[in-house]
Amino acid sequence: MKIAVIGAGNVGGTLARRWSALGHEVVLGLRDPDSAKSRAAAAELGLKAKDRAGAASGADVVLLATPGGVAAVEAAQACALNDGQILVDATNPLNGRLDGLEHPGGLSGAQQIAQALPGVRIVKAFNTVGFGIMAQPVREGRRSVLFVAGDDAAAVERVSALAAETGFEPLHLGGLAASRMQEEHALLWIHMALKAGQGVDFLFSICRGSA
Ligand SMILES: NC(=O)c1ccc[n+]([C@@H]2O[C@H](COP(=O)([O-])OP(=O)(O)OC[C@H]3O[C@@H](n4cnc5c(N)ncnc54)[C@H](OP(=O)(O)O)[C@@H]3O)[C@@H](O)[C@H]2O)c1
């Protein structure tokens, strides 16, 4: 699969590395692909860096891994996506203190992107676990759950398959309205990691069945 990863930071870099190792054709989409920083990031990952529209052109899946909120909407717009392309939103519209979300008008970050990009199939995923868990989603035999939401069933299915291939247990929450809860869940994860003493090396897993 052709995957464009927008942003080569903690999340973008980690998932780009994983997906490339799984045999996908991964290209980085960066604000300034010719800068020394971008060239170093691409070289470290062994990938090509392009501008965001260049990377997203023809991609089966585009992962958005930039700061959330207004920056994410602007980054998504800079990808110049065609109708029907799949954009996976891994961002969280965090406030500066990392203790709240910016949901203007009650819209999640993913819904703000969907409003700005009608026709693009937006799927919310990869926003609720730390990047260290993305590198290795199984701990002591337990698979991390990965919440997935979106309004287009085929796009959700494709992203869920990619999540499963990455080592997660994908869990479909429903339409994109559920992205609000996913962003709240990310806030809980951040609170647990940074303020409630759990550190970053933990995951949420689902247990089923009767006792
Ligand atoms: N860190 C985590 O464990 C984690 C887990 C789940 C979700 N998230 C979410 O994923 C997103 C990325 O997190 P991260 O930790 O990977 O961030 P990061 O390390 O700071 O990387 C973000 C990338 O986005 C680009 N960028 C930076 N500022 C930008 C701006 N103003 N506009 C557009 N692009 C910008 C940069 O790439 P270029 O400058 O090269 O374009 C940078 O490499 C955030 O929304 C975060 O809430 C993070």
Distance 83 CA to ligand 1 centre (A): 25
Whole-structure pTM value = 0.98
d(CA 23, CA 35): 27
Cα 204 to Cα 207: distance, rounded to the nearest angstrom: 10
Q: Does the beta carbon of 45 lie inside 6 Å of ligand 1?
A: no
- Give the span between the Cα atoms of 150 and 155, in whole angstroms: 8
**What is residue 94's three-state secondary structure?**
strand
Q: Residue 182 in contact with residue 127, Cβ under 8 Å?
A: yes
Q: Is the pLDDT of residue 81 over 90?
A: yes
Enumerate the domain spans of the chain.
2-194
Tokens of 103: 């949901």
Give me the chain's average pLDDT, please.
98
Residue range 123-182, pLDDT digits in tens: 999 999 999 999 999 999 999 999 999 999 999 999 999 999 999 999 999 999 999 999
**2-194 CATH, one of 3.40.50.300, 3.40.50.720, 3.55.40.10, 3.40.640.10:** 3.40.50.720
Structure tokens that stand for 132 in this block: 């260290």
Cα distance between residue 195 and residue 183, in whole Å? 17
C-alpha of residue 38 to centroid of ligand 1, in Å: 13
Helices (H), the chain: 10-21, 36-45, 52-56, 70-78, 109-116, 131-135, 153-166, 179-194
Q: Is 131 in the pocket of ligand 1 (CB under 6 A)?
A: yes
